[in-house]
């Protein structure tokens, strides 16, 4: 077991890692408010000893479907491997029409395949993985989005920590964007810090006490 400078421990002699999936609808190199939120979350996770990286999902040809691999040209298997290799998943989406983006919905549909793969104790590969949620937009819907993503992620097998979500909504009926703010609002920053601290706590916990699974007797 390794303890990083931030105090977070993982089994197997490796430092804990995070992968953020940016579910913006805007391809690179377009500016993304969701990416700004991700960068801030990865920063505070880094303060907790968890190193991270991000992927803009729309830049990859993720096929529709509910299996781990939808065949030739499907970019999901490579992204899936990165998700499962990480200790923490950051799932971040813009708010569109009061809902998560279609890209985010596709990610959840593809992750659903993990329920069909279990180890000898009946545990899917997502057991012991931590997930945190971020929503950014200039319209209402963040609480509903977080509720939907939390339900989906826990159903798939991830564990969402206490206060494991953060959001920013711009003023109603205006055109403000998170990426254009001169300074991150302090309530958002403090929520990001709590999210990171609680995610790191769960990483440490699972390193020593993994879920036993239903067939652990």
Mapped onto helix, strand or coil, the DSSP state of residue 135 is: strand
Per-residue model confidence as pLDDT tens for the chain (217 residues): 233 334 555 655 589 999 999 999 999 999 999 999 999 999 999 999 999 999 999 999 999 999 999 999 999 999 999 999 999 999 999 999 999 999 999 999 999 999 999 999 999 999 999 999 999 998 889 999 999 999 999 999 999 999 999 999 987 767 789 999 999 999 999 999 999 999 999 999 999 999 998 866 6
pLDDT of residue 103: 98
pLDDT of residue 140: 86
Residue 61 structure tokens? 């040809």
Domain 16-207 in CATH 3.40.50.360: yes
By the 10 Å C-beta count (0-12 exposed, 13-18 middle, 19+ buried), 38 is classed as buried
Sign of the alpha-carbon dihedral angle for 82, 83, 88, 89: positive
pTM (predicted TM-score): 0.92
């Amino acid at each position: 077991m390794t303890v990083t400078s931030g105090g977070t421990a993982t089994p197997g002699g490796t430092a804990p890692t995070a992968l953020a999936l940016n579910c913006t609808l805007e391809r690179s190199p377009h500016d993304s408010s969701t990416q700004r939120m991700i960068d801030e979350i990865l920063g505070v996770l880094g303060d907790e000893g968890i190193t991270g990286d991000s992927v803009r999902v729309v830049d990859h040809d993720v096929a529709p479907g509910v299996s781990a691999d939808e065949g030739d040209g499907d970019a999901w298997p490579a992204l899936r491997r990165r998700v499962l290799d990480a200790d923490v998943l950051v799932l971040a989406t813009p708010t569109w029409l009061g809902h998560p983006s279609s890209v985010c919905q596709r990610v959840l549909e593809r992750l659903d395949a993990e329920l069909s793969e279990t180890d000898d104790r009946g545990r899917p590969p997502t057991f012991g993985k931590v997930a945190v949620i971020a929503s950014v937009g200039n319209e209402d819907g963040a609480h509903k989005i977080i509720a939907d993503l939390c339900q989906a992620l826990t159903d798939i097998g991830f564990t969402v920590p206490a206060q494991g979500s953060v959001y920013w909504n711009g003023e109603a009926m205006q055109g403000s964007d998170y990426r254009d703010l001169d300074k991150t609002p302090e309530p958002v920053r403090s929520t990001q810090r709590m999210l990171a601290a609680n995610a790191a706590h769960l990483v440490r916990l699972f390193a020593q006490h993994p879920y036993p699974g239903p067939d652990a007797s």
